[in-house]
Amino acid sequence: MVAVKNRGLGRGLSALLGDKPTPEVMSQSTQIPITKIRPNSYQPRTRFSEQELSSLTESIRREGVLMPILLRPDGDGYELIAGERRWRASQAAGLVEIPAVVREVGDLEALELAIIENEQRDDLSAIESGRAYKRMIDEFGCTQQQVAEKIGVSRVQVSNLIRLLQLSDTIKTMIDRKEMTMGQARPLVGLPVDVAEKLALQCIEQGLSARQMEREAKRATKEVVPGVAKEPHADVTALQEELTRRIGLQVALACKKNGAGELRIKYKQPSELDAVLKKLRS
């Protein structure tokens, strides 16, 4: 059984994301026609293992669907929230109906549940997680801290995963295929594309660790961009992004080792400054 972390889901939703059917879940389950179900528009997972689906299909042919899927009403049918592999495998197995629990769930919660279901099974790549977190921020106005609290991870991890989206498509594909981990790829953020891709290939071919990649990236940075400033800490980056979102203007935060620092707010015209002053005075 896959353990479901306590992420404050409430309303018994955590029980619906596990692998073992509980009496509570089964009592809420009903048979739903497969043709009335459409895929989750907030599904963060883009790759499904054909081998895993084939194995699950054979299991369903023998034993049926043991754990209900999670749906929400959608027009004259339903939208899938959790259990896409079971739904796909059931179709392949030729089932007409599938056991499901139907809940009224908002868009943000549908995305949140889809992320949690996949992450607790380690099904998402770092890029898929980063895209999903960014979607929570861009479409629903969440801060990185709020994303972290909803999903049950640290704010630093949220920031690091989102920053991976700055990498080239070639490197992101390597991460999607799980040829590289977040720790191995993170030092490549900010490097010129050709340098980053060369190091990524080196990482895969030589099996470099995350620490070794950090050393290689630092060496490459000194060679390509002499005197480049040290990359800001993930917490500083996250705080800058949160302040920028709340204030509505670009914020730059510089922190020193002794705890002192400097906060800069950039504005283009007096009206923007007036708006910030009003917020501060209120």
- Any catalytic annotation for residue 84? yes
Residue of 84, 112, 117, 216 with catalytic role: 84
Query: Which range marks the domain in which residue 260 is found?
Result: 234-281
Q: 104 in a domain, yes or no? A: yes
CATH number at residue 168: 1.10.10.2830
Domain contains 258:
yes
For the stretch 215-259, pLDDT in tens is 999 888 877 655 444 556 677 777 777 787 777 777 777 777 666
Q: Residue 111, Cα to own-chain centre: how many angstroms?
A: 10
- 140 with 190, same domain? yes
- The answer on 76 and 58 residing in a single domain is yes
Contact 99, 29 (CB under 8 A): yes
Q: Could you tell me if residue 266 is inside a domain?
A: yes
The residue written with tokens 């043991």 in the block is 66
Q: Give the chain's domain count.
A: 3
Note whether 112 and 129 are same-domain residues: no
Look at residue 2 and tell me if it is in a domain: no
Are 78 and 175 contained in the same domain?
Answer: no
pLDDT, one tens digit per residue, over 263-281 is: 888 877 777 787 878 877 7
Q: pTM for this one?
A: 0.70
Residue 94 sits in a domain of what CATH number?
A: 3.90.1530.30
Same domain, yes or no: 247 and 175: no
